[in-house]
Structure 1
Amino acid sequence: MMKPEVMSPAGYWPQLQAAIEAGADAVYFGLKHFSARAKVGFTLEELPEVMRTLHQRRVKGYVTFNTLMFDHELLQAARVALAIAEAGADAFIVQDVGIARLLQQLVPEIEVHGSTQMSITSAEGVELARQFGVSRVVLARELSLKEIAAIRAATTLELEMFVHGALCVSYSGQCFSSEAWGGRSANRGQCAQACRLPYDLLVDGAPRPLGEARYLLSPGDLYALHEMPAIVQLGVSALKIEGRYKDAAYVALTTAAYRKAVDEAWAGLPLSITPYEDLQLTQVYSRGMGPYFLTGTDHQAVVRGRAPRHRGVLVARVVKVLTESILAELDPAAAASPLKPGDGIVFDAAAWRSPEEPEEGGRVYHAYPALHGLVELEFGYDAVDLRRIRPGDLIWRTLDPELERAVRPLTQPASPVRRQPVVVHAVAQVGEPLVLTWQHGELPALRVTVRSPEPLAAAERRGLTEALLHEQLGRLGTTPYYLAALNYVAEGNPFVANSLLNQLRREATDLLAELQGQPAPIRGGDPAAVLAQMTPSRPVAHAAVASPTLHLLVRTAEQLEAALAARPASITLDYLELYGLRPAVEQVQAAGIEARVASPRVLKPDEQRIVHFLRKLDCTILVRSTGLLHALREAAIPRLVGDFSLNAANMLTAQTMLELGLARLTPTYDLNADQIAKLAAELDPDLLEIVAYQHLPIFHTEHCVFCRFLSNGTSYKDCGHPCETHRIALRDQQGRAHPVMADVGCRNTVFNAEAQEASRHLAAWRTAGLRHFRLEFVHERGEEVARVTDAFQATLAGTMTPADLGRHLQQITPQGTTEGSLFVPDGYATIPLM
């Protein structure tokens, strides 16, 4: 078992330097494109200097190449990837399966790490990633330590886990809220953070008061520092700190804290985390911190819901509002760093104020001790409107000047904080040049040798001693090195001037740094040639377009009854309770219709019963996760159809998935209608199944809204299963009610209120050869299922125009319709393929 890397984020140079000085083993960062954090990153031209800086400090650099990529981007992506490899990157972090395969062919010397956006939650998912050329997998943040241990025991591939920072409410790679509501793909670095907005809860159609918990999809931040003794025993390769949008102070403090904790835990020492260090980490950035899923499921803890943004440290509660000041009761948990002048604070009035109202806050001008252990706070003139503050409001410190001073040695060091050991072998012989060999690291060590320009003369009085040599060579204050050992061999009594030793020391350290910073040579392929080799030849154009085929997906018995009456080519059952599926499957099969069952989108180590159950159903499975795909592909199942959640956004990924045994594949919802048509032209259109009507699944989350707000339980074990008896929806600020449904793993999917429909694009899709279309229903009644299906059947048969279909669907659906992710921006169709 190896000591895990401490892996830090870097949005740009200040954060990268802070990570180095604080003791990171590796830093991950993105470029200005092909990165899931589109607002930050380095340019490709800066990358050689970035890698040189990291390697000179013995830190690895991993480049986030982790967006889904479109077909017309593949050649550019390949060229950029080659340049990244040539600049000396130690690894790529990727989400796109096709890109992983491309990198394996293009630059096989460079490691490929599977991003958390691959949604890998099981050993099966890890093993499938291995087949794509991935050498390390970043596991989903929703896994517990027990589940990670089970995955570790079942695979030899390197594993990486998050230990600190923001949590997404949705599984990474499975969030389409930005796509649905703004045409911005979270899978392409454009997350709009809809999870951080306030929502009303509707239970069986009626509003349910939430009190202060209006931000019911906004989780707290992960904080696993105190779990480090258990974590280092897991055998994971890297511990990841989230935060490429965070500042240098955040990177410095978190990196230093986890560096110390990992070192102590690895040495078997007790953790020496002080209350003040805990407060510092909370102060620098926090929405409320805890280990959350790492220590097991507790749906009451993950989302508090009071606020969606940085709160800092809870320091006090308002007791009384005076004319020009307030009296507050200090929070005991903040005793290690009490309120003081200069602190920036915010008053949290979530219990009575609307989330839409701005919060009150400002800088503390004076903080006086008052009676009964209270503190009186005064503020600058007009800095705080005391009329908007009430007794009971919480007081959070959002800014602490002391923290700025504490972190300055790491963010603005006068000389390197983290240094590397060097061993110097010195040979000084009268009549011969002085020879100094500087060695850094273990075998294979880096070595440089420097020599004096002239032979050494004999000393008239005092010659060169080991002590003098150690003193002069050890003056390495502005370099990233320290002299760990000196081996001195002398013959005679040689004389060496201090100026010569200083010159040779500078020459040696410059050479050593240059040698460390040189990128390893790679044997990269030609991007165009590699792509051409991986890309199948285009199929021969069809002489006639085959007849269209309609597939329905239903989630209730009432919907199933309507679907059976419509007699589509297939009916997919997507039920909350898997074990009630067999009678429904038999009912569909008895009607002479292909029966299909939708798998869960997540498979965890303790959910193998789901795999066994699906194997026994003797019907087609709609596969929604790579873990289940790996588990089911060898089983005797009639057919496997890949769903949107496999995130096939380009020809390489689609081809990869189909080669794994899928009969058909639904592309990711990141593609618009024009891109779907182009993918069909590049591939065989008969291998694609397109969703033409649905409520887009905008969030897929481990956090259960049913358990959190309709029970006092912490998990399915004690929640009473309100998901089986109640319907809930989340109403946004525009008044749209988004249905929420639970699956067999108690995970929730939030669906878009409006129905996304493809009437404007059916003609173009049919021209492209597409013929498999799926209609998916959420909370629709049986009558609505019948009317929607009838309208599509009429349109595909040619007895209703697409325009009439669109108008008809608008009238049927209670909350209207939208093009949603299918929308094609003006001019988009002119973008060429690669």
Structure 2
Amino acid sequence: MRKPEIMSPAGYWPQLYAAIEAGADAVYFGLTHFTARAKVGFTRSELPDVMKTLHRRGVKGYVTFNTLVFDHEIRAAANALAEIAAAGADAIIVQDLGIAALAHRIAPDLPIHGSTQMSITSAEGVELAARYGVSRVVLARELSLAEVAAIRARSPIELEIFVHGALCVSYSGQCFSSEAWGGRSANRGQCAQACRLPYEMIVDGEHRPLGAARYLLSPGDLAAIDDMATIARLGVSALKIEGRYKDAEYVAITTNAYRRALDAAWAGLPSDLTGADRLHLEQVYSRGLGPHFLRGTNHQAVVEGRAPRHRGLLMGRVVQVRSDAIIITPEPGREAAPLKPGDGVVFDAADWRSPEEPEEGGRIVAVEPVGDGRLAIRFMKGVINPRRIRVGDLLWRTSDPQTERIARPFVQPAAPVRRQPVRVHVQASAGTALEMRWTLIDQPALSVVVRSETSLTTAQNRPLDEATLRDQLSRLGDTPYILSELSAVIEGNPFVPVSLLNQLRRQATTQLAELQSQPPALTILNPDQVVDEALAAVEPTAPSATPHLHLLVRSPEQLAAAIALRPDSITLDYLDLEGLKPALAQIRDAGIPARIAAPRVLKPEDERIVRFLRKLQTPLLVRSTGLLELLRDDPTVALTGDFSLNAANVLTADLLLKLGLQRLTPTHDLNAEQIAHLAERIGGSRIEVIAYHHLPVFHTEHCVFCRFLSNGTSYKDCGRPCERHHVALRDTNGREHPVIADVGCRNTVFGAEAQEASKYLDRWRAAGIGHYRLEFVHESAAQVTAISEAFRAYLHNTISAAELGRRLRQCSPQGVTEGSFFVPANYQYIPLQ
């Protein structure tokens, strides 16, 4: 078992330097393209300097390449991957499975890390990624430490987990809210953070007031600092701190805290972090810190819901409002970092004020005790409006100059804070040259030898001794090294001038730094040739001559309507596993082909679900790579890959189809024209498009049913309100987005408006697409019938696409939209050559 890496984020140079000085073993960062944080990153021309800077300090550099890649970008992506390898990157972090396979062929020696955007939650998902050259997987943040340990026990490659920073409410790689509501794909680095907006909860058609908890989908931030003793021995290879959008102070404070905590845990010692250290960790950035899913499921703790942004430290509650001061009762436990002049604070009035209203706050100019432990907080005149502050409001400290001062040595160091230990061996004999070998203790393969140009003479007065060597060679000043071990063979009383020792010391450290900065010798194949070979290996099938209509239903009422319609197949996506058996029997009795929609997430404890689905001996709609890996060699189960496998290009689609899928649904990140082109390249008979559905905007481990309709912490004690209530989340535009729980008690929030493809169906049929799926969420039986009959009429050429669109607008409950199908007027298809 090796000590895990501390892995820190770097949006740009200031954060990168802070991570180095604060003790990171590795830094991850993006370039200005193909990265999940599109607003920050280095240019490709800066990359060699970035890698040299990191390697001279003994730090690894991982380049994030963690977005889905479109067909027209494949060649550019391949050339970028070759350039990243040549620059000396220690690894790339990849989301797109097809691009991972391509990278492994271009640079077979370059380590590939599977991004958390791959949505991997099981050992089977790890195994599938490893099949395509991935050497490390970043596991989903929704796993507990026990689940991580179970995966570790069966994993053939390295694992990495997040230990600190912001949580997404949706599984990474499974969020389509930005795509649905803004045309910006989270899988393409353009997350619009719709989860951080306020929502109202609608229960069985009625508004359910929730007090201050109006940010229903905004989780707190992860902090695993108190679990480091367990994590250190878990067997994972890296501990990741989130935050490529955060500033250098955040990177410095968090990196230093986790460095110290891990070092102590690894040595079997208690942590030396003080109460003040922990408060500063929360102060620098937090929405409320906690271990959250790492300690198991507790839906009451993940989302507090008062605010979506940085709160810092809760410092007290308002007990009196005066015209010249605000009186608060301090929060217990803040004695190590009390309120003081210069602190920035905000008054949290979520109990009574609208989320759209600005909050009161500003810099404190005075803090005075007023008896009974209370404090008077004063501001410059005009900074706050006391009439907008009420008794009971919470006071948060959002910024603390003291925290900034603690970060400063790492952010603006006068000399390197973090130094690499070196071993120096000296050979000094009268009549021969003075020779020194300098070796990095942490990287013993890196060693340099320096020698004097002339032979040493015999000393008349003060011959060289080890004390003199240690004194002179330890003067490493602004170099990134520290003398840790010194050995010497001194013979014949040699005389060595101090100036010579200094000269050789400077030569050695310069050469050592240069040696460290050299990129490794990697095999890098011609990227264009590799792309040509990969494309030539794609085996397209013939277009489909006959259109087929498939219906997906989620309730008995919808099922009855679907059976009466007699489509080409019916897919069941049910909350209750036991309810599948009688529903399946009804479909079979009607002589209609049936399918079961599998869960989108497969965790170690979900094996019972897989066993149950296998016993049904029914074709499956596969939604996770873990389940695909489990079933790919099973000839008794017919498999269709769903949108959640995130096939965005021909290489990924071909890879997935060759794993045993009969058909594949492209990712929702593709617009209608891109779907058509993918079908033309891969074969229309192997593409199944969703022509009507409510886009699944969030897929989350967090359960709003448990959190807001029970006092329970998980499915074990929540009373299963999901089986008794219909829930929707109403946004600030008045749209009500349905929420449904799956068999794993995970929630999917669906878009209120139905997304339909009538405008593009003629194009799809011309591209040879033959399989069309309609998915229903909260539609009535009558609506299922009307919508399906309209599509059937179109597919049988009895109505036009325009008429189909008109009918859909009449019968869809909250209206229709093109959604992710939308093709901009200025869109131009760039052929993949």
- TM class by smaller structure: over 0.9
What residue number does 2:108 align with?
Answer: 108
CA contact (8 A) 2:427 2:489 kept: yes
Alpha-carbon distance, 1:324 to partner: 1.2
What residue number does 2:636 align with?
Answer: 637
What residue number does 1:659 align with?
Answer: 658
Alpha-carbon distance, 1:808 to partner: 1.2
What residue number does 1:719 align with?
Answer: 718
> C-alpha separation between the residues in 2 aligned to 1:106 and 1:325?
66
What residue number does 2:128 align with?
Answer: 128
What residue number does 2:412 align with?
Answer: 412
Cα pair distance change 1:206/1:526, threshold 3 Å: same
Deviation string for 1:152-185 (max 9, x for gaps)?
1222321111110000000000000000000100
What residue number does 1:475 align with?
Answer: 475
1:397-546 alignment to 2 at 5 Å? Answer: 397-441=397-441, 444-536=444-536, 546=545
> C-alpha separation between the residues in 2 aligned to 1:267 and 1:522?
35
> C-alpha separation between the residues in 1 aligned to 2:539 and 2:277?
62
What residue number does 1:299 align with?
Answer: 299
Deviation string for 1:350-395 (max 9, x for gaps)?
0000000001100001101102111111101211111111111000
Q: Is 2:621 the counterpart of 1:622?
A: yes
Alpha-carbon distance, 1:581 to partner: 0.6
What residue number does 2:684 align with?
Answer: 685
CA contact (8 A) 2:315 2:331 kept: yes
> C-alpha separation between the residues in 2 aligned to 1:257 and 1:443?
24
1:751-770 alignment to 2 at 5 Å? Answer: 751-770=750-769
What residue number does 2:193 align with?
Answer: 193
| TM-score normalised to structure 2 length | 0.98
Percent identical across equivalent pairs?
A: 65
What residue number does 2:354 align with?
Answer: 354
Cα pair distance change 1:354/1:442, threshold 3 Å: closer
Alpha-carbon distance, 1:545 to partner: 5.6
1:311-326 alignment to 2 at 5 Å? Answer: 311-326=311-326
What residue number does 2:741 align with?
Answer: 742
Q: Is 2:714 the counterpart of 1:706?
A: no
> C-alpha separation between the residues in 1 aligned to 2:717 and 2:635?
37
Deviation string for 1:705-730 (max 9, x for gaps)?
01111111111111111110110100
1:370 alignment partner, SS class: strand
What residue number does 2:267 align with?
Answer: 267
Deviation string for 1:561-615 (max 9, x for gaps)?
1111111111000001122111211211222211000000011111111110111
| TM-score normalised to structure 1 length | 0.98
What residue number does 1:669 align with?
Answer: 668
CA contact (8 A) 2:541 2:684 kept: no
> C-alpha separation between the residues in 2 aligned to 1:505 and 1:79?
41
What residue number does 2:40 align with?
Answer: 40
Cα pair distance change 1:808/1:115, threshold 3 Å: same
> C-alpha separation between the residues in 2 aligned to 1:706 and 1:292?
17
Letter in 2 for 1:596: R
What residue number does 1:553 align with?
Answer: 552
Alpha-carbon distance, 1:271 to partner: 2.3
> C-alpha separation between the residues in 2 aligned to 1:794 and 1:111?
52
2:383 alignment partner, SS class: coil
CA contact (8 A) 2:544 2:685 kept: no
CA contact (8 A) 1:221 1:289 kept: yes
What residue number does 1:93 align with?
Answer: 93
Alpha-carbon distance, 1:538 to partner: 7.0
> C-alpha separation between the residues in 1 aligned to 2:123 and 2:47?
34
Alpha-carbon distance, 1:830 to partner: 3.4
Letter in 2 for 1:299: H
1:45 alignment partner, SS class: helix
What residue number does 2:227 align with?
Answer: 227
1:77 alignment partner, SS class: helix
1:184-263 alignment to 2 at 5 Å? Answer: 184-263=184-263
CA contact (8 A) 1:615 1:635 kept: no
What residue number does 1:384 align with?
Answer: 384
Cα pair distance change 1:296/1:545, threshold 3 Å: closer
Letter in 1 for 2:582: P
> C-alpha separation between the residues in 2 aligned to 1:438 and 1:639?
62
Alpha-carbon distance, 1:89 to partner: 0.6
> C-alpha separation between the residues in 2 aligned to 1:245 and 1:402?
22
Letter in 1 for 2:370: A
CA contact (8 A) 2:541 2:682 kept: no
> C-alpha separation between the residues in 2 aligned to 1:23 and 1:345?
30
Alpha-carbon distance, 1:537 to partner: 6.0
> C-alpha separation between the residues in 2 aligned to 1:296 and 1:452?
62
1:749 alignment partner, SS class: strand
> C-alpha separation between the residues in 1 aligned to 2:826 and 2:738?
34
Q: Is 2:775 the counterpart of 1:776?
A: yes
1:15-164 alignment to 2 at 5 Å? Answer: 15-164=15-164
1:452 alignment partner, SS class: strand
1:560 alignment partner, SS class: helix
Unaligned segments of structure 2, at least 5 residues: none
Alpha-carbon distance, 1:786 to partner: 0.4
What residue number does 1:829 align with?
Answer: 828
> C-alpha separation between the residues in 2 aligned to 1:539 and 1:344?
62
Unaligned segments of structure 1, at least 5 residues: none
> C-alpha separation between the residues in 1 aligned to 2:230 and 2:829?
54
1:397 alignment partner, SS class: strand
> C-alpha separation between the residues in 1 aligned to 2:10 and 2:182?
27
2:728 alignment partner, SS class: strand
Cα pair distance change 1:442/1:143, threshold 3 Å: closer
1:681 alignment partner, SS class: helix
Deviation string for 1:79-125 (max 9, x for gaps)?
00000001111111111100110011110101111111111111111
Alpha-carbon distance, 1:445 to partner: 2.4
1:578 alignment partner, SS class: coil
Letter in 2 for 1:710: L
Alpha-carbon distance, 1:821 to partner: 0.4
> C-alpha separation between the residues in 2 aligned to 1:111 and 1:131?
13
Q: Which moved more, 1:463-472 or 1:185-194?
A: 463-472
2:229 alignment partner, SS class: helix
CA contact (8 A) 1:36 1:188 kept: yes
CA contact (8 A) 2:544 2:684 kept: no
> C-alpha separation between the residues in 1 aligned to 2:303 and 2:278?
21
CA contact (8 A) 1:611 1:632 kept: no
1:782-821 alignment to 2 at 5 Å? Answer: 782-821=781-820
Alpha-carbon distance, 1:474 to partner: 1.2
CA contact (8 A) 1:538 1:681 kept: no
> C-alpha separation between the residues in 2 aligned to 1:832 and 1:638?
36
Alpha-carbon distance, 1:442 to partner: 5.6
What residue number does 2:601 align with?
Answer: 602
Deviation string for 1:718-744 (max 9, x for gaps)?
111111011010000110000000000
> C-alpha separation between the residues in 1 aligned to 2:429 and 2:582?
93
> C-alpha separation between the residues in 2 aligned to 1:490 and 1:336?
53
Q: Is 2:549 the counterpart of 1:572?
A: no
Alpha-carbon distance, 1:539 to partner: 6.6
Deviation string for 1:258-316 (max 9, x for gaps)?
11111111111122332111110110000011001111111111000000000000001
2:364 alignment partner, SS class: strand
> C-alpha separation between the residues in 1 aligned to 2:373 and 2:431?
79
Letter in 2 for 1:614: L
Alpha-carbon distance, 1:826 to partner: 2.3
> C-alpha separation between the residues in 2 aligned to 1:333 and 1:810?
58
Q: Which moved more, 1:398-407 or 1:579-588?
A: 579-588
